[in-house]
Amino acid sequence: MIYLDNSATTLIYPEVLDTYRVVSEQFFANPSSIHKLGGRSEDLLHKSRQQAAGLLGVKETEVIFTSGGTEGNNFAIKGVALGYQQRGKHLITSTIEHAASLSAFAQLEDLGFEVSYLGVDEEGRISLDELRDVWRPDTLLVSLIHVNNEIGTIQPIEEVGRFLKDKPKTLFHVDHVQGLSKVPLNFKDSGIDLATMSGHKIHGPRGIGILYMREGVTLSPLLAGGGQEFGQRSGTENLPAIVGMVRALRLVMEKSHEGIAYLQTMVNGLRQQLAERSLITFHTPERGAAPHILNFSVEGFRAEVLIHALEEEDIYVSTKSACASKTSEVSHVLLACGLSDKEARQAIRVSLSFENTQKELNTFIDSFDKKTQELMKAMEV
């Protein structure tokens, strides 16, 4: 099997799976229980939070464990809007955010909030000038995806942070799910108040994530109850998944030192090889994109047809975001970049992890050529 859909999810590391099992068996007690077993679980939770904070370069009290990227985005966006609405009801985001963010903004619009959606250029990048134009003194939040999950475009997060530096009443949220370990981002230096991360994108367990919440920020909680996570996110902590995600985070951060350049080399090589095929149009920009994502269209082939053809070779790629891949709607990201409906329906995404190899990509190219030729012959009949 050659798995090239790592932006959708990643294969959990064996070490992480072992950690999850051990914690499930030996630290099963509720961390809130006052007996000795509860105390052991609480200690492990505390150590995990410390380790996560160290790896992310933030304070321990700024790490909030969530159930993943969807909850993290919803918590940040709705938590700011509802918690600070006395300041105003204006919010800013972009047209190419993940569905979790866009749906949260849509719900807030139904509640009377006003949302400004920044457009993007043909490479999927926002305009700082447009951001300056739409910002208002009553703007509560700017929320942007760091690395677009479909085409890999990196947004100018540091520049946005500098613009907002002298606007303390406007909070800055970043969806860092795709960028974590692949595109370095210093939360403090970039002026970020909130950042969303997800475990299953970095070879960790599903159902676990981290929301970085800058010290001094207070959100309106989505979940009320026992007051866990410093009173911000109630619910018995998912300790096996928390410890597993932190171990995965440590592993990918170690791999990233050499792995980022390794991924970029492989993606560059893949782009060069595909560019020799006349039917290919690339949607991932050559510069200013994440090192692990390559999105392109194959003229004359609907994406799902080619994806299923590659499945026959035990090779797995995808179309748009996995959260929306089963719907008939065209990618909102590609449409926002100016592609036609037809072009967008032909786009596929290859996304790598540190574990993919050059041999796998060579096999992908061979299989791609084989299947496109077979399909072309079938269409001629």
Is 323 known to be catalytic? yes
Question: Is the separation of the CB atoms in 183 and 159 below 8 Å?
Answer: no
The number of CA neighbours under 13 Å toward the Cβ of 323 is 13
Helix locations, the chain, DSSP H: 14-26, 36-56, 69-83, 99-110, 128-134, 157-164, 239-275, 303-311, 332-336, 341-344, 358-380
DSSP conformation letters of 137-183: TTEEEEEEESB-TTT-BBP-HHHHHHHHTT-TTSEEEEE-TTTTTTS
Amino acid at 329: E
Q: Give yes or no for a contact between 233 and 75, defined as CB atoms under 8 angstroms apart.
A: yes
d(Cα 154, Cα 176) in Å, to the nearest integer? 11
Active-site residue, selected from the candidate residues 29, 134, 323, 375:
323
Q: Please check whether residue 124 is in contact with residue 333, taking contact to mean a CB–CB distance below 8 angstroms.
A: yes
C-alpha separations of 11 from 227, 248, 321 in Å: 33, 11, 17
The amino acid present at 135, given as its one-letter code, is W
Distance of alpha carbon 282 from alpha carbon 280, whole angstroms: 7
Q: Angle at Cα 10 formed by Cα 100 and Cα 58, nearest 5°? A: 65
Cα angle value 369/371/375 (rounded, 5°) = 120
**370 HSE (CA, 13 A, CB side):** 12
DSSP 341-377: HHHHTTEEEEE--TT--HHHHHHHHHHHHHHHHHHHH
Active-site residue set? 323
